[in-house]
A and B are shown apart, each in its own frame.
Chain A
């Protein structure tokens, strides 16, 4: 999986929970799930679960607590994939 494929997968995971479509259209690594995309905090857990399923990884609580931005999500995905 290339970096671009990982980002595309992550975008498709996040999309259904986004409440600010404009911010989603200009999504980049710095995009914040809550502040920018206005994702409801209870849906952050859905993003974690969908990410686990899509990449076949397990996101422990310590990783999940940092998963508030695209950048953090990408680094967690890379880290967990490397451990597989």
Chain B
């Protein structure tokens, strides 16, 4: 399965005040808060870890069919651009891309699957059962769409 999440950093800094009391406590675990607060750029780290959680949530939501706002149930296990994230007994792999204006994370069940991720455009995506799929030559692949501010990102999982 696949999940992805893009964050427009300018918009995020206008939409959220990560320094407000208890904000970090509700979104992040103790370990994640340490990563954020020891970072050279804590705000960027907030959105970095948040994009991983959102990408992983999309996979779990699709698998369980359950909608929950449970960010601390997802824990980033490491800090690098190829990070693992844990949800209950499941460990997912993420890959995060950075530039000065956006952060983008793709997530799947393992590193091998991450190599099979392809990019497509939004018009190639449909949602026959409520979840996005990429259709090509009458074949369908699971896909994920993320939109925030100036950015949209559509990815799919190749075989």
Enumerate chain A interface residues (CB-CB to B < 8 A): 17, 40-46, 48-49, 52, 61, 64-68
B121 within 8 A of A: no
Enumerate chain B interface residues (CB-CB to A < 8 A): 12, 15-16, 20-23, 26-27, 50, 54, 67-73, 148
Q: Is the interface of A mostly helix, strand, loop or mixed?
A: helix
In whole Å, how far is B50's beta carbon from the nearest beta carbon of chain A?
6
With CB as the reference atom, state the residue of chain A lying closest to B57: A41
A65 to B54, CA, bound (A): 14
| Chain B residue contacts of A44, Cβ below 8 A | 69
In whole Å, how far is A67's beta carbon from the nearest beta carbon of chain B?
6
In whole Å, how far is A49's beta carbon from the nearest beta carbon of chain B?
6
With CB as the reference atom, state the residue of chain A lying closest to B7: A42
The answer, among B16, B72, B73, for a CB contact under 8 Å with A42, is B16
- Asked if A41 meets B54 with Cβ closer than 8 Å, knowing A46-B16, A48-B26, the reply is yes
